[in-house]
Amino acid sequence: SIAILLYLARKFKTPDHWYPSDLQKRARVDEYLSWQHINIRGKGSKLFLTKVLLPLLTGQPLSPEKLEGVTEELNIVLKQFEEKFLQDKPFIAGSEISLADLVALVELMQPVGAGYDLFEERPKLAEWRRRVEEAVGKQLFQEAHEGILNIKNL
């Protein structure tokens, strides 16, 4: 949860870039963390649930119309994410990775695990993903997402 991430960042005095002491940068992180719940998380999880979990539980494939609607909802918030939060910066809060970037990418990996490569036609988003992966380490990133990326093997 966001609350535990903030608690851990404060308790263990993580490097400043994770949850910046600069008020403007921190405000950007806080703004994203508040926005993402019903936007990136809400729409990304909805796609994951409707494309992977519901068919798994019901044994019935999702109708193409329903999947198209859910995908379009996600595409709308992805556009907002790029325009409002990424803009032309390397990371959400500026030039360094923060908790906002980490949370954002983790949420975006759910639709990817469901088979929707949302980075494919979004070069700005794909480049941001590459920077986040490099900042945390590619091996750690792959380990952390191994389960979700292999969910279709169920």
Q: Would you list the domain boundaries of the chain?
A: 28-153
Please identify which residue in the block is written with the tokens 């500026």.
Answer: 94
Q: Specify whether the CB–CB gap between 91 and 131 falls below 8 A.
A: yes
pLDDT at 154: 59
pLDDT digits (tens), the chain, 154 positions? 899 999 999 999 999 999 999 999 999 999 999 999 999 999 999 999 999 888 888 998 888 999 999 999 999 999 999 999 999 999 999 999 999 999 999 999 999 999 999 999 999 999 999 999 999 999 999 999 998 888 876 5
Number of H helices, E strands in the chain: 8, 0
Instruction: Provide the pLDDT for residue 151.
Output: 81
* pLDDT at res. 149: 87
Whole-angstrom distance, CA of residue 16 vs CA of residue 35: 22
Would you tell me which CATH number, out of the four given (1.20.1050.10, 1.10.1330.10, 3.40.250.10, 3.40.50.970), belongs to the domain 28-153?
A: 1.20.1050.10
Structure-token match 């990133």, residue found? 141
- Provide the token pair at 45: 């999880």
CB 26 within 8 Å of CB 120? no
> Any residues with CB less than 8 A from the CB of 90 and at least 6 apart, and which?
96, 128, 131
pLDDT of residue 109: 95
